[in-house]
Every structure is written in structure tokens, then in C-alpha cells.
């Protein structure tokens, strides 16, 4: 199987992103430390359990039984000083005090000055007493308790985003925003913090004040930055100057917090006389972020980007409004009750908003917000209610047994049979019918999804049982349109030449009127041929790869308005496509939708192949007009059971006694030199036969180009290139090609040495191989590839399927052979010959098999000897482990990410018996950075030993 990735502007290698990711992780770690400091301060900060005005000093309330009451204070007293500091607006007398210390208080009662000593308690003690008292005190305690899970929640979401999407700009910025929110500790305004800092080195305290100011301002700056750049990938991004503006706007808050901090650092108790930038600039920045999101929402035409912007807007709006209200309530001094209510609403809005915020960042394709909310609430309530009703018999039985726990077992079993009938019969009924009840619920609240599944399964069964391609296509597209409600759906099939895909049937009022054909040999079709999984055009990782497609193919995606592309594969060969637009509901296609479409595509592909074999007039590819016709009497007849080949006069197989079938386009004797005797196998490009070379009386293998590729100049060129490339290579581990030609029917063919053995894929399928066996295989293969590199040939398609383990002439020993140089690239002097085999104005392209493709090739760079080394290292790994290092990943996005971003598990972590030197060699050869690999394949092979 081949995959073509176009040459494009190379994106930065994953290695180049590591410093950026490390920078964000450092900030997350620092934010985690400050969050823990926040939580510690929340629980241990000292309080004297009285409320008094910082302006007049008048005591409004004294907590019953609290520290203030024990010190003799009463409501109406006027506090004059605390710990020797006179009362003034904004002063923080307990900044350098710990819970349990003795604090002197001077107060005035009935015009008489008095002094007392008070012992502060911890905030935790205040919360507990507040819960017991109820009212405003309880509300205050609840708010204080909620701040603990809220800080942990925000930090957790930030860390989760950075772990899940480390290479995504939006996710990194979001992680920083959430972590900065959790880390803003306001150290200068926390009671007891001075007592803690007194035990730390002063330089460390100064650094902590700087970082605290940084996190306070960073939250607002990052929020505004995020609003400017979120979901701008498709529009080409944002100019750097606009990404600096948020941090300039937030600078006054940083300066204010830093000034307050160093004012406290100098030992002052009263606040620094600085304009309150935080209380005014903070809400204004958040409001500006909402305005920017709303403006971008109105200008954005992409439906999914609009949904994501809408979710982000809705996640920030409640928190912004609640934050502004809480600041206003505090500034206007509307009382403790109003302040506590405002803070409670702000906390709840922040928790919910942060969840929606993270959801919109992580999920690239999201549901319409109204659908998401409505379905979630309906389904949760309905399913929850159903489960409660189903549990009632069990709950009733448990309560009955508990109420009669003193009775004997005999009394319980015989005394009240009616109770058991009333409880156990419903219990058995629930167990018996629970599945149908839950299914009824699904049909009630997810009628569209349920109907879609039934309709799709009906289509699959209909296609499986039929063979009329024209009728089936119309019916299938109609049923899919009814089931999934796409804006349009179309079926694409190969044109008569077999070189391009063109649109056939189409359904949907919103289908594009005119769509260009798609070249079958292009990058997109070859990527689709790699897997039968439907390709989500808007998937985060897939889109990054699709952006590197040739301009013509990117235009094709735009003009077809493709949202989901389902490949129709026949023997790992792309025979057609289903192209679906966005759903009418603007919801993404779910996992079950894609799986059913994949199953349907497989059935349609089989029907397509069957229809082609029947030579349906609408689906037959005519051979080129230049080719000569071959007389029926010369055609090869084949046994479909054993593959034996017979002359035209034979009717049945002499061994299996089954009717022979005509092998169209292939003669029994090729150019009077090769007598075809048996079918060896069929692949995506050609059919391989065993033949006897008459003059030398030796077996040879003949690969004949498939009939529908006869008219493809590129495929013919590939055949000829393979013959010429291998002809210049001389090595025992490289398959020998004897001849090349074109049959009268127009089929190109290659004659090569006959290899008696099995592919390396079959060897791997038997399980992990021993180190010695792996070295016996890889050593000669490495020598062969190194010889090719020295001859100026890069294979570009090394994989287990292209390496055979053949039985040697003694019939006992086995050796490997490297096959299929059809995708090879020549360099140096050989490149001149190679250029003559490429049509004018066309490029052979950067090709290979996706599962074995080097990261630099996926990044749009040309393949070289180090790319072959990477593929060979993957094969070595697979031999030792019995499985590919990327595991079971088959979808395009996961495979590309595994090659270019995600570190691969070392071989020793999977097979501990592998020597350390071999592990190090494989790890180096699998480096994401090509320059970090070995100088040559020979060096890699030497390092393995």
C-alpha cells in the first residue's frame, strides 16, 4: 500500500516545540505551588471572630462563644487599634500574626478607653462555628469551603489540558489561564502570611511576591489573549502585535499587586496608596474578551468555529458578570449578606464556566450548545428517574428486612408472603425487562439517533444482499440521507481511465453544483487508501496533515464542502469515496455513525467489485485505444480454487474439478518466453503468477498490472522505474528482476526471480522473534538497503510486506529478500535516468506507507537514507515485540501523531530480554529528528549487534 504526502512548507519539528512546552510546564508547576499555598492559607489564617468597620472601628457583630466574646468585646464597641496598629481603611492587623498568638486590642466603650487580649483562631474553626450558627455565618462558611475545591478544580483542568493537548496553542494558553486563576494568592492581603514569611529567606519572599503579582495579572491577560486567538487556525492566525496587547493592558494590575506586595515586604500593615487597578481593570478586560468573542462569532462563517466560539462565550459570560457584581457589591459596601450571596454565585458560575471552557478547547468538533444542554438534561433526568423506579423494589425489600431484623428467619420467610409478592415480583419484572425499558428511553429521547442506527443497518443488509450497483447506490444514499441528515452526500467512483475520481450520485439540496475531479494518484486518495476508517476533515490532527496537501486538493475539499470522507476499498485499493457534508443539526458525526458508514462502505466496495467483474456498462474501464486486442484462444484460464492455469481449450481443473474462469488480458504464454502455470496472489497494484522460463527451464514470478490501471501512465511508469532501478542493484538480499514488457492487451508486466517463502508480515504474525533470529533477518536486509543507498537509491516503502523470508536452494536455510522498488527515488548520477521516467510537469512525490513513514516525510520533507533507516528500525522493533510500536492505531490522526509527536515506548519496556545496546540503537534510529539518527543503515545494523 502506498501513501503520498505532498512537498509543502515544513512545519516545525516536534523537537522544536519542546522548549515551549517546558516553559508552560514550569509555569504550571509554579502555579501548583501557589495553589497549595492558597489552600494552606484558607485553612490556617487567623481570625478574631468579630466584624468591625475598617473606617470607624465600630463592632457590628461578635460571634457567640468566639474569640472576640471571650476577650470581652461587644457589639457597639469601637476598636481603636489591633496589635498596636491604629484602625484605618484597608489595614490588615493580623498579617504577621498566627492563630494562637496573644494580640492586644484597644477599644472604646461608653467613652471609656479599654484594652484586652484576644487569641485568634484558625479560619477552619471559624467555618465550623459558622455552620452551626446558620444564616449569613453559614453562607460565609460555605463560600470559604467552596474555594478549596474550586482552586483544585481550576488547577486540575489546567493540568489536564496541557497533558491532553501539549502541542496545541489554544490548549496551552487555556491551561495557563486556569492555572493562573488557581495560583493568584494575593499574598499581601492574607492574614497570617507575614508570620509564614518571617521563617523564610527574604530573597525567596521577594520572588514569591513577584510571582504572585505575575499570576494575578496573567489570568486576565491570558483570557484576553485567548479570546483573540481561539479557533483562528483556518483564518491564518492573528498578527503578533495583537497578541501582545493583552499583556500590556494587564500590566497595571501587575504593578499594583507588586507594589502592594513590596509594601508588605517592608513591614507595613496599611495598604499601599495605589489606584485600585484590579477592581476596575479586571472586569473591563473580561468584558472586552466577551466583546471580541461576540464580534468574531458574527464574522466567522465556519459552523463548527461558530459553535466553539459560542461555547467559550457562554463559559466566560456568567463568571464575568458574577465577578463584576461581586466587585461592585464589595466596593459599594452593601452588607455582608449581599457580599456572600454575590461570592457564592460567582463561585458556581466559575466552576460551570471552567468546565465548558475546557470542553470547547479539548473537543474540536462539538455539539450545538442548545442540543447539548437539552439532551443532557432530558436524558440525565429521564434515565435517573428510571433507575430510581427500577431500584424501588430492592429499596423496599431492604427496608422491610431491616425493620424486621429482630424476627427469626422462619418468621421472615413464612409470616408475610404478601409482602414478598409485592416486592419480589416487581424486582423480577425489572430484571427481566430492564433492557427494553432502557431502549425505550433511548428511542424517546434520542429518536433521531435510534432511527439512524436502524436505517443504517437496513442499508448494510440491503447492500449485502444485492448486486445492482446503480439501484443500490441510489437507495443507499437516500437511506443515509434520511438516517444522518447530512446537508449533502455523494458517491465518487473512478472515471473510465481509472486515473481520477469523479462524482456520480448525489443527494441533498445543499450539494455543491459543480465539483472538480480528484486525481487518483494524488496525496489525498493515497492517504484515504491507508485505512478504511472515515476521514473527519475537521479532526484536529487530521486537519494539520490536510493543510499540507497540494493546493488543488485543498481546493477540492473546499469546493466539495466535505465534512466526512468514507473510502471504498477493494483489496487495499481505493475504488471510490462517499463524501458527506455537515449534518443539518450541526452536530458532529458520532463514533457509531462512522462505524456504520465504514461497514456500509465495505459492502458497497464489494458490490462495486462484483459489478465490475460482471462488466456492468456503467463501471467498465476500457483499455487504451493504442493497445492491440488479444484473441480469446490465447487467453489464460484459471482455477478459482487452487490457482492453477490452463490453456484456453480446458474447461475444468484436473485437481479440483471446478469450472475454470477467464483471466482477462493475460495470455497463457507471454512473448513465447514464459508459460504461466499458477496464480500466486493478488495485490493492490497487480496480480502475481508463477511461470516457467522456457529457454532456461527455471521458475519465475510475473507481476501483471491490474486491468483497471492499464490506462494509468503513472502506474506504467512505476512498473518501468522498478525494473530499471532493481536492474542497477546487485545484492543477494535484493530480488532480481529479469525482464519488463507490455502485453498485447496493454497490461504492463515484470518478470522477477521466483521466491519460495513468506513475507516478513507472516513471520511477525507468529509472535515476537528472538534476538538472534531478528539479527539474522535485519543484518542482510540492512546490507541490501545500504548497498542501494550507496548506489543512489532510496527505497521509500520499507515494510514487512516488502521483505520476504525465502527458502534457499538447500531447502533448509532461509534468507530475506527486499522487494518492491516501485516507489524508490534515485539520487546522484542515477537521478538523470529517473527524471526521464517522470512525465513533464509532474513529480513522483514523497511516498511510502503511513505506518512506516518517517516524521520528516510526514512534515513535507524529501525522503532520504535516514527515512529508510527509520522504517527499518520500526520493522526491527516489530520483529522483537511482535507488534508495531504504535500499537493498534489505524486512523490517520493517531498514526501521524504517533510518528511526529508522541514518544514511542522503548523496546526494552516491552521486551526486557532485548540487550541495552540494541534498545539504544533502535531508539536512536527512531528519533523524531532525522539528524539524530545514524549516518547510515550500516551503522544502525552494527549498533544493533
**What grid cell was written down for 539?**
479532526
CB 171 within 8 A of CB 165: yes
Cell numbers 506586595: residue? 261
CB 101 within 8 A of CB 198: no
Helix-strand-coil percent breakdown of the chain, rounded to 5?
55, 15, 30
- Phi, psi at residue 272, to the nearest 5°? -75, 130
DSSP bridge pairs for 578: 491, 566
Q: Which helix (H) or strand (E) holds 920?
A: helix 916-925
**What grid cell was written down for 668?**
497463457
CB 59 within 8 A of CB 76: yes
Phi-psi region of 236 (alpha: psi -120 to 50; beta: other; left: phi over 0): left
For the CA atoms of the chain, what is the radius of gyration?
37
CB 297 within 8 A of CB 245: no
CA 905 to chain centroid: 18
Query: Measured at the alpha carbon of residue 751, what is the angle toward residues 749 and 755, in degrees to the nearest 5?
Result: 130
- Phi, psi at residue 748, to the nearest 5°? -80, 150
**What grid cell was written down for 543?**
486537519
C-beta atoms surrounding 785 within 10 Å: 29
Alpha-helical (H) ranges within 10-117 are 14-44, 67-70
The DSSP code sequence of 336-378 is: HHHHHHHHHHHHHHHHHHHHHHHHHHH-SS---HHHHHHHHHH
Give the span between the Cα atoms of 4 and 844, in whole angstroms.
9
In angstroms, the Cα distances linking 148 to 41, 155, 908 are 10, 11, 43
Give the span between the Cα atoms of 415 and 319, in whole angstroms.
60
Q: Which residues are catalytic?
A: 797
Give the span between the Cα atoms of 409 and 230, in whole angstroms.
67
Closest CA to 356 of 316, 318, 315, 317: 315
Give the span between the Cα atoms of 115 and 404, in whole angstroms.
64
Give the span between the Cα atoms of 426 and 237, in whole angstroms.
61
**What grid cell was written down for 912?**
526486557
Amino acid at each position: 500500500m502506498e501513501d503520498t504526502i505532498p512537498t509543502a512548507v515544513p512545519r516545525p519539528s516536534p523537537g522544536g516545540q519542546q522548549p515551549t512546552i517546558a516553559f508552560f510546564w514550569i509555569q504550571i508547576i509554579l502555579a501548583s505551588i501557589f495553589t497549595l499555598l492558597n489552600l494552606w492559607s484558607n485553612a490556617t489564617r487567623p481570625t478574631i471572630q468579630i466584624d468591625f468597620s475598617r473606617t470607624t472601628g465600630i463592632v457590628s457583630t461578635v460571634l457567640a462563644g468566639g474569640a472576640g466574646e471571650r476577650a470581652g468585646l461587644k457589639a457597639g464597641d469601637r476598636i481603636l487599634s489591633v496589635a498596636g496598629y491604629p484602625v484605618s481603611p484597608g489595614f490588615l492587623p493580623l498579617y504577621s500574626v498566627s492563630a494562637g498568638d496573644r494580640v492586644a486590642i484597644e477599644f472604646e466603650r461608653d467613652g471609656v478607653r479599654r484594652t484586652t487580649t484576644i487569641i485568634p483562631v484558625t479560619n477552619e474553626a471559624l467555618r465550623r462555628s459558622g455552620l452551626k450558627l446558620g444564616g449569613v455565618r453559614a453562607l460565609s462558611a460555605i463560600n470559604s469551603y467552596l474555594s478549596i475545591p474550586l482552586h483544585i478544580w481550576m488547577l486540575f483542568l489546567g493540568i489536564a489540558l496541557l497533558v491532553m493537548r501539549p502541542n496545541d496553542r489554544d490548549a496551552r494558553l487555556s491551561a495557563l489561564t486556569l492555572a493562573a486563576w488557581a495560583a493568584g494568592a494575593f499574598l499581601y492581603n492574607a492574614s497570617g502570611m507575614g508570620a509564614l514569611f518571617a521563617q523564610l529567606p527574604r530573597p525567596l519572599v521577594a520572588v514569591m511576591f513577584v510571582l504572585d503579582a505575575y499570576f494575578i495579572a496573567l489570568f486576565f491577560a491570558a483570557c484576553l489573549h485567548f479570546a483573540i486567538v481561539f479557533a483562528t487556525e483556518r483564518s491564518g492566525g492573528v498578527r503578533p502585535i495583537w497578541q501582545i496587547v493583552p499583556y500590556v493592558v494587564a500590566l497595571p494590575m501587575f504593578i499594583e499587586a507588586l507594589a502592594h506586595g513590596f509594601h508588605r515586604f517592608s513591614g507595613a500593615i496599611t495598604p499601599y496608596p495605589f489606584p485600585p487597578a484590579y477592581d476596575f481593570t479586571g472586569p473591563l478586560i473580561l468584558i472586552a474578551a466577551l466583546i471580541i468573542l461576540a464580534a468574531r462569532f458574527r464574522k466567522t462563517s465556519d459552523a463548527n468555529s461558530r459553535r466553539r466560539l459560542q461555547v467559550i462565550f457562554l463559559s466566560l459570560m456568567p463568571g464575568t458578570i458574577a465577578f463584576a457584581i461581586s466587585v461592585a457589591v464589595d466596593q459599594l459596601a452593601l452588607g455582608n449578606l449581599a457580599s456572600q450571596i454575590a461570592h457564592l454565585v460567582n463561585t458556581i458560575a466559575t466552576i460551570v464556566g471552567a468546565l465548558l471552557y475546557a470542553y470547547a478547547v479539548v473537543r474540536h468538533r462539538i455539539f450545538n450548545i442548545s442540543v447539548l444542554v437539552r439532551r443532557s438534561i432530558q436524558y440525565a433526568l429521564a434515565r435517573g428517574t428510571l433507575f430510581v423506579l427500577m431500584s424501588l423494589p430492592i429499596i423496599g425489600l431492604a427496608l422491610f428486612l431491616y425493620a424486621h431484623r429482630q424476627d427469626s428467619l422462619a418468621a421472615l420467610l413464612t409470616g408475610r408472603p404478601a409482602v414478598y409478592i409485592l416486592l419480589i415480583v416487581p424486582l423480577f419484572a425489572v430484571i427481566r425487562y430492564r433492557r427494553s425499558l432502557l431502549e425505550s428511553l433511548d428511542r424517546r429521547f434520542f429518536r433521531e439517533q435510534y432511527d439512524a442506527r436502524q436505517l443504517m443497518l437496513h442499508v448494510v443488509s440491503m447492500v449485502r444482499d444485492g448486486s445492482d450497483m446503480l439501484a443500490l447506490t441510489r437507495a443507499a444514499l437516500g437511506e443515509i440521507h434520511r438516517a444522518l441528515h447530512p446537508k449533502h452526500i455523494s458517491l465518487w467512483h473512478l472515471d473510465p481511465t481509472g486515473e481520477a475520481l469523479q462524482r456520480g450520485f448525489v443527494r441533498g439540496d445543499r450539494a455543491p453544483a459543480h465539483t472538480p475531479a480528484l486525481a487518483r494518484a494524488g496525496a489525498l486518495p493515497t492517504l484515504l487508501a491507508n485505512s478504511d476508517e472515515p476521514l473527519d476533515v475537521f479532526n484536529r490532527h487530521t486537519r494539520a496533515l490536510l493543510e499540507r496537501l497540494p493546493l488543488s486538493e485543498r481546493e477540492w475539499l473546499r469546493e466539495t464542502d466535505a465534512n466526512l470522507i468514507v473510502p471504498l476499498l477493494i483489496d487495499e485499493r481505493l475504488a471510490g469515496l462517499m463524501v458527506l457534508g455537515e449534518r443539518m443539526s450541526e452536530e458532529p458525526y458520532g463514533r457509531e455513525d462512522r462505524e456504520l458508514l465504514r461497514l456500509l462502505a465495505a459492502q458497497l466496495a464489494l458490490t462495486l467489485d462484483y459489478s465490475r467483474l460482471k462488466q456492468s456498462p456503467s463501471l467498465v474501464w476500457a483499455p487504451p485505444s493504442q493497445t492491440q486486442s488479444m484473441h480469446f484462444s490465447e487467453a489464460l484460464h484459471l482455477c478459482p480454487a487452487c490457482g492453477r492455469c490452463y490453456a484456453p481449450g480446458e474447461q475444468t481443473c484436473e485437481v479440483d474439478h471446478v469450472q475454470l474462469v477467464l483471466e482477462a488480458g493475460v495470455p497463457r504464454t507471454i512473448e513465447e518466453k514464459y508459460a504461466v502455470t499458477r496464480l500466486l496472489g493478488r495485490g493492490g497494484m497487480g496480480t502475481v503468477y508463477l511461470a516457467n522460463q522456457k529457454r532456461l527451464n527455471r521458475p519465475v514470478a510475473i507481476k501483471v498490472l491490474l486491468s483497471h490501471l492499464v490506462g494509468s501512465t503513472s502506474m506504467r511508469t512505476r512498473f518501468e522505474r522498478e525494473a530499471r532501478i532493481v536492474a542497477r542493484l546487485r545484492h543477494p538480499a535484493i530480488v532480481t528482476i529479469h525482464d519488463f514488457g507490455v502485453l498485447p492487451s496493454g497490461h504492463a508486466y515484470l518478470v522477477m526471480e521466483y521466491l519460495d517463502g513468506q513475507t516478513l508480515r507472516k513471520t511477525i504474525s507468529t509472535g515476537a522473534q528472538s534476538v538472534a533470529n531478528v539479527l539474522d533477518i535485519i543484518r542482510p536486509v540492512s546490507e541490501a538497503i545500504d548497498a542501494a543507498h550507496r548506489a543512489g537509491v532510496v527505497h521509500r516503502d520499507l515494510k514487512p510486506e516488502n521483505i520476504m523470508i525465502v527458502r534457499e536452494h538447500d531447502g533448509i536455510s532461509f534468507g530475506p529478500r527486499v522487494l518492491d522498488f516501485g516507489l524508490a527515488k534515485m539520487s546522484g548520477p542515477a537521478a538523470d535516468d529517473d527524471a526521464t521516467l517522470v512525465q513533464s510537469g509532474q513529480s513522483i512525490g514523497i511516498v511510502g506507507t503511513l505506518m512506516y513513514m518517517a516524521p520528516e516525510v510526514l512534515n513535507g520533507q524529501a525522503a532520504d537514507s535516514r527515512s529508510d533507516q527509520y522504517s527499518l528500525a520500526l520493522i526491527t522493533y516489530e520483529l522483537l515485540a511482535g507488534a508495531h510500536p504504535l500499537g493498534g492505531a489505524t486512523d490517520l490522526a493517531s498514526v501521524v501523531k504517533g510518528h511526529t509527536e508522541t514518544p514511542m515506548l522503548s523496546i526494552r519496556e516491552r521486551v526486557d530480554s532485548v540487550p541495552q545496546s540494541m534498545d539504544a540503537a533502535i531508539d536512536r534510529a527512531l528519533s523524531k529528528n532525522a539528524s539524530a539518527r545514524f549516518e547510515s543503515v550500516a551503522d544502525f545494523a552494527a549498533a544493533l549487534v
